[in-house]
Chains A and B, each alone.
Chain A
Amino acid sequence: MQAKTPPEVIRASSGFELKPFYTAADIPASHRERIDIAPGEAPYQRGFHPGGYRSKPWRIFQLSGFGKPEDENERIKFLLRNGETGFIMEHDRNTADHCYNVDHPDVVARREDVGLTGAVMQSVRDIAICMDGLPVDSSFAHPGGAVVQHAPFALAGYWTVARRRGFQLDKIAGTGQSDFNLTYLGCVTKQQIPTDAGLRFNADIIEFCGQHLPYWVPVSIAGYNAADTGLNPAQELGTLFANAVEYLDEMKRRGTVDMQMAAKGCAGVSFRASIHIFEEAAKMRAARVMWSELLRSRYDITDPKAANLRVHCVTAGSKMTYQQPLNNIVRGTLMALAAAMGGVQSLGVSGYDEALSIPSEHAHQMSLRVQQILQEETNFCAVTDPLGGSYYVETLTAQLMEKAWEFFDEIEKAGGYLACLDSGWLHARAAENQHDEFMAMETGEANIVGVTCATEDESPYEVDGFVGTDDAFDVATERLHETLRTRHESAAGTALKNLEAVCRGSDNIMPAMLDALDADVTLGEIGDVYRDVFGDWNTPIQT
């Protein structure tokens, strides 16, 4: 590797210049007073709980799923057996994200893709197969529904199965997602309800959980999806809170649940942990302060249950390289370390084969092992906020907050978060950064080991893309027909009609969705109702 002449200016990913070293004088005066506040105390910069990871290590929480519901069930059990402490049910994206059944022409045209990124679950029957034997009562679950229009179906399906197994909804714990950043910014589906309908869905879920599921995180805003689309860490923060404000303002307008409850419902978020490890750790610390300040100043909420941000973190998939994939185990470890140093409550590490496919069983195992080694062998969990008081990290934390609020204000000035999605303003910001990032790589300003330098590879292992099962489409087709043939048709018809009426009106969608799932109404039928009632989002980007 050629030695590079050190550049004159080195910048953080968020754009500000980094100094060669930091002293106490660099920490902004306004930030100094926060440094000595203990973990568990507002504004929570130093963490969620005074006991930190001593009292509760972060949750090992991996994305997982492929094939038929039983394939996914088996993989989740594998992960739980190997030390995962919560579980995630991924739905097949072809069907789920678009609310299509497998017989939709767009899906049939890609039949081999079906089941590649999650299990096909078109009715409560499929969801029941996927949940077979899973510890619904004792484990924290994410039943899928990452994309906004799919979330009510995924949640209602999980809750219906849980109820049928005798669990009470007000006792079970887990999280929804219905993430706007994924749906309208990072991963723009071919068909999607418009953003205003999406806001209504999410507000309905927050409202419903506020009234019936006190231990459930109704929606989870994912900064991750903004960041992995190109927004820098400060923009990721600004975007996330601009998004939260849309939800909270809507809840305030409705006035149907206590604002404290609504805020708590929005306080489970996810961030990306990327590879600039100190900046990423600082980001998690900054996020907690920003949330508690936002709630206090804008909604007059100080209750720790709401003001204490709980963070799930996923390592940056886009940083994982195709070349020399085993290097990604090291990258995953570093990014996991960054997240843990930032004090996150929950973590998923990308598979080392991320750039090739969804994780193989072995890649999944390694993602667990990385976290287990950190938790079990390094004494990491002994001390909370290990970076607290570092001149550098405290300065970074303060700078990130400042930049993030600036971006938050920019979004507000451009009409608010939803307007910025509709107009493509946020997409344009992400695209600018992507371009710069790529050019830095092209010009050799930034190096990626195994890709732009150190490209020789002596590895004896070929890592090939994981391909799950090849019968997901056929089995899903059979099961769809089976469901349609054997369900109580008039009950299904009534439930679907009722759901449509609710969609056209303004009642909360969740009770009707639960009834629809209970009556074996299928995903595609629900999607057809959405398309009819809400139409399609006018995508502001050209893909």
Chain B
Amino acid sequence: MTREHNLLQDAIAGKRAALARLLSNVENDSAFAMRLAQDLAPHAGRAHIIGITGPPGAGKSTLINQLLPRALGTHERAAVLAVDPSSPFSRGALLGDRVRMQGPSTGSNVFIRSMASRGDQGGIARATATAVQLFDACDWPVIIIETLGIGQVELDIMNLADTVVVALNPGWGDTFQANKAGLTEAGDLFVINKADRPGADSTRRELLESLSLLARRPLPTIVETVATDGSGVDELWGAICSRFMQLQADGDLATLRQARRMRLANKSIRAELDARAAASLASSAGQRLTERVAAGTMSSEETTRVLLQLLQGDQASAP
């Protein structure tokens, strides 16, 4: 731990290589990540964490590339965590988001880190939360997270970001029937990117319709952008900042973050329980259990009761 401790001190002192190595350690070693998260918890909460999510091809990277210079007008530095999917077959990944952020990437006031999802299904990676904490602790005042292209259940960004920006394109309604509800619930702000294409107006109408079905009032802001030439991006950054300042002024930020932390803890607990249950079921006792369930000789209620006992037994025998 001392080497890691030194790394942390170096990272906090502003050494990029140390921060970069810690990020790798967080990704590679979940036990370390857990310890670090615990150590960092008291220091977190200073940064404004912004999530950019939306379907593949919505222009998320290009938007971030445009947002960065604006963010640097407000803050001294800005960090980006760009998540891309890992291949379920090889565990490898192609991480290409940096290509579209090459312009600002070399300034010492920007830190871009590409991250593979490594099997996580929630649109970010398992390590993303701790990575964010780390950036926060190292005094990066604004952290932008680019999620995977959003699918059915990839909404974990809600548990992580103060501001969730959902990026869509004209014509979104036709292709995204299934997950409309999830997306509209996730977003604090909506961007219709590539708004110079036909269908921007009807997309705005459709989006408003979906949003008005939700209980939330006032309705989230909708901004139209053309990220390739930068139009509308000033307005977007303005909307992100003013919403955040409003939250701070009203004291709602703290409440929001509490709820978020609870959701994150909940998810983590469930994930851990799932993992343990799976491990238990894979044991020889668990195997016998599953056989009985499959044969119909044990009810699902009884199975649950026995499994819980097994789990407690596992815990008791754990070192």
Verify whether A and B have any Cβ pair under 8 Å: yes
Chain A interface residues (CB < 8 Å from chain B): 194, 423, 532-540, 542-543
Name 14 interchain pairs, CB-CB below 8 A, sorted by A: A423-B57, A532-B229, A533-B229, A535-B226, A535-B228, A535-B230, A536-B229, A538-B227, A538-B228, A539-B99, A539-B100, A542-B94, A542-B99, A543-B99
Task: Please state if A194 and B228 are interface contacts (CB–CB under 8 Å).
Answer: yes
- The minimal Cβ–Cβ distance linking A500 to chain B, given in whole angstroms, is 14
The residue of chain B having its C-beta at the shortest distance from the C-beta of A540 within the complex is B57
Q: How far is the CA of A122 from the CA of B194 in the complex (A)?
A: 32
Shortest beta-carbon contacts, A-B, top 7: A535-B229, A542-B96, A535-B228, A536-B228, A538-B228, A538-B62, A542-B94
Contact with A along B220-233 (1 / 0, CB 8 A): 00000011111000
Question: Is residue B59 contacting chain A, with contact meaning CB distance below 8 A?
Answer: yes
- C-alpha spacing A117/B119, complex, angstroms: 44
Query: In chain B between 67 and 110, which residues have their CB closer than 8 angstroms to a CB of chain A?
Result: 94, 96, 99-100
Nearest residue (CB) in A for B95 is: A542
Q: Determine the distance from Cα of A194 to Cα of B59 in the docked complex, in whole angstroms.
A: 14
Residues of A within 8 A of B96 (CB): 542-543
**Is B59 in contact with A538, judged by CB distance below 8 angstroms?**
yes
Residues of B contacting A536 in the complex (Cβ-Cβ under 8 angstroms): 228-229
B-chain residues with CB within 8 Å of residue A539 when the two chains form the complex? 99-100
- Residue in A closest to B193 when the chains form the complex, CB atoms: A538
A-B contact count (CB 8 A): 25
Q: If the complex has contacts A423-B57, A542-B94, are A537 and B99 also in contact, measured as CB distance less than 8 A?
A: no
Count of chain B residues with Cβ under 8 Å from any Cβ of A?
13
- Closest residue of A by beta carbon distance from B61: A538
Residues of A within 8 A of B230 (CB): 535
**A537 touches which of B57, B94, B226, B228 (Cβ 8 Å):** B228
CA distance A537 to B99 in the complex (A): 13
Query: Of B59, B100, B229, which contacts A534 at CB under 8 A?
Result: B229
| Chain B residues, CB < 8 A from A534 | 229
Shortest A292–chain B CB gap in Å is: 34
| Complex CA distance for A539 and B227, rounded to whole angstroms | 13
Identity of the chain A residue whose Cβ is nearest the Cβ of B98 in the assembled complex: A542
Chain B, interface SS category: loop
Alpha-carbon separation in the docked complex, A536 to B194 (Å): 12
Give the docked Cα–Cα distance between A94 and B100 (Å).
19
User: In residues 189-226 of chain B, which contact A (Cβ within 8 Å)?
Assistant: 194, 226
A537 surroundings in chain B (CB, below 8 A): 228
Interface residues in B217-255 (C-beta closer than 8 Å to A): 226-230
User: Which of A534, A537, A540, A542: most chain B CB closer than 10 A?
Assistant: A542
The interface residues of chain A lying within 8 Å CB-to-CB of B229 are: 532-536
Complex Cα gap A534–B230 (Å): 10
| A541 nearest CB neighbor, chain B only | B96
Contacts of A423 in B (CB 8 A): 57
- Expressed in whole angstroms, the Cα–Cα distance for A535 and B227 within the complex equals 9
Compute how far the CA of A538 lies from the CA of B230 in the bound complex, rounded to whole angstroms: 12
Question: Within the assembled complex, what's the spacing in Å between the Cα atoms of A536 and B227?
Answer: 9
Tell me how far the C-beta of B85 lies from the nearest C-beta in chain A, rounded to whole angstroms. Answer: 12
Q: Nearest CB to that of B229 among chain A residues?
A: A535
Distance in angstroms between the alpha carbons of A31 and B227 in the assembled complex? 50
Task: Look across to chain B and name the residue whose beta carbon is closest to the beta carbon of A423.
Answer: B57
Least CB separation from B84: chain A residue = A542
In the bound assembly, the distance between CA atoms of A537 and B94 in angstroms comes to 21
Nearest A residue to B230 via CB reads A535
Q: Could you say which residues of chain A place their CB within 8 Å of the CB of B227? A: 538
Residues on the B chain within 8 Å of A543, using CB: 96, 99
- Beyond A535-B229, A543-B99: 18 further Cβ-contacts under 8 Å? A194-B228, A423-B57, A532-B229, A533-B229, A535-B226, A535-B230, A536-B228, A536-B229, A538-B194, A538-B227, A538-B228, A539-B99, A539-B100, A540-B57, A542-B94, A542-B96, A542-B99, A543-B96
* CA distance in complex: A540, B99 (Å): 11
> Which residues from A are CB-within-8-Å of B194?
538
In the assembled complex, the Cα of A480 lies from the Cα of B59 at a distance in Å of 36
What chain A residues lie within 8 Å of B228 (beta carbons)?
Answer: 194, 535-538
Q: Give the residue among B94, B100, B229 with the most A Cβ atoms within 10 A.
A: B229
A102→B261 CA distance, assembly (Å):
52
Mark out the residues of chain B between 90 and 139 whose CB falls within 8 Å of any chain A CB in the assembled complex. 94, 96, 99-100
Residue of A with least CB distance to B226: A535
Complex interface: chain A residues within 8 A of B100 (CB)? 539
How many angstroms from the CA of A193 to the CA of B94 in the assembled complex?
26
Smallest beta-carbon distance A90→chain B, Å: 26
* B291 → A minimal CB distance (Å): 43
Contacting residues, chain A, for B57 (C-beta < 8 A): 423, 540
Q: How far is the CA of A533 from the CA of B226 in the complex (A)?
A: 12
Beta-carbon contacts under 8 Å, B46-72 to A:
57, 59, 62
Complex CA distance for A150 and B161, rounded to whole angstroms:
43
Residue among B62, B228, B230 having the largest count of chain A Cβ atoms under 10 Å: B228
CB of B117 to closest CB in A, whole Å: 16
Query: In the bound complex, what is the Cα–Cα distance between A539 and B97 (angstroms)?
Result: 11
Bound CA span A539–B228, Å: 10
Docked Cα-Cα span, A543 to B95, in Å, equals: 10
Select from chain A the residue with minimum beta-carbon distance to B97: A542
A-side contacts of B94, CB under 8 Å: 542
Residues of B within 8 A of A542 (CB): 94, 96, 99
Kindly list chain A residues whose C-beta atoms are within 8 Å of the C-beta of B226: 535
What distance in Å separates the Cβ of B83 from its nearest Cβ neighbour in chain A? Answer: 15
Chain B residues whose CB sits within 8 angstroms of the CB of A532 once the complex forms? 229
A538 contact set on B, CB distance < 8 A: 59, 62, 194, 227-228
CA gap between A535 and B193 in the complex, in Å: 14
- In the complex formed, the residue of A with least CB distance to B62 is A538
- The interface bits of chain B over 131-156 (1 if a CB of A lies within 8 angstroms of the residue's CB, else 0) are 00000000000000000000000000
Please report the C-alpha to C-alpha distance between residue A543 and residue B94 in the assembled complex, in whole angstroms: 10
In the bound complex, residues from chain A placing their C-beta under 8 Å from that of B99 are: 539, 542-543
CA distance A538 to B100 in the complex (A): 9
Min Cβ gap B84→A in Å is 9
Give the distance to chain A from B110, nearest Cβ to Cβ, in Å: 16
A534, chain B: closest CB distance, angstroms: 7
Tell me, rounded to whole Å, the shortest Cβ–Cβ distance linking A359 to chain B: 31
Chain B neighbourhood of A194, CB < 8 A: 228
